[in-house]
Amino acid sequence: MPQKTYIHDPRRAAAERRWHHLDAKGQVLGRLATKAAVLLRGKLKPTYTDFVDCGDFVVVTNAKHVKLTGAKLEQKFYFSHSGYAGGAKTTPVKRQMERDPRKVVMLAVRRMLPKNRLARKQLVRLKVYAADKHPHSIPQAKAN
């Protein structure tokens, strides 16, 4: 009788999702976004497979208290274009933080994920809140 080898089924790993809580108060935006992107992709799991959505849920609170290093608050801009002539828009990070700080964190995490359909599915599991209150019940043993 031939010896059976264990074959890992990556799609089964997607069913085991955890919830992680990241507090953005006093944290640098890029380092926070890196942690969130790694958790969303599931790269810390032993069952990680790049073509399977096996990541976890991530809740980021206190987005309005995130820090930007250097002179990024005055010098960094978000650029968008409508596609029409003269349709370029630039928004300074300082103004975006005043309007909606959740978008700053969301864009930082989104740009650290790969540019494909799988990343769009993973980004749905990112929940960002400006204050410290959130409606999700996260078990304490699994909170980061």
pLDDT, one tens digit per residue, over 62-90 is 999 999 999 999 999 999 999 999 999 99
**Distance (Å, whole) CA 144 – CA 139:** 10
The Cα–Cα gap between 62 and 69 comes to 17
Q: Does domain 18-68+100-133 have CATH number 3.90.1180.10?
A: yes
| Rounded Cα–Cα distance for residues 98 and 138 (Å) | 28
Express each pLDDT in 33-62 by its tens digit. Answer: 999 999 999 999 888 888 888 899 999 999
The predicted model gives 89-99 an average pLDDT of: 96
User: Other CB atoms closer than 10 Å to residue 73's CB: what's the count?
Assistant: 13
> Mean pLDDT over residues 14-24, rounded?
87
- What are the domain boundaries of the chain? 18-68+100-133
pLDDT at 25: 96
pLDDT for the residue 141: 47
- Do residues 42 and 55 lie in contact, with contact meaning Cβ atoms separated by under 8 Å? yes
Q: Helices 101-110 & 29-41, crossing angle to 10 degrees?
A: 60
Q: Average pLDDT over the chain, rounded to whole?
A: 90
pLDDT at 121: 94
Q: What is the pLDDT of residue 13?
A: 62
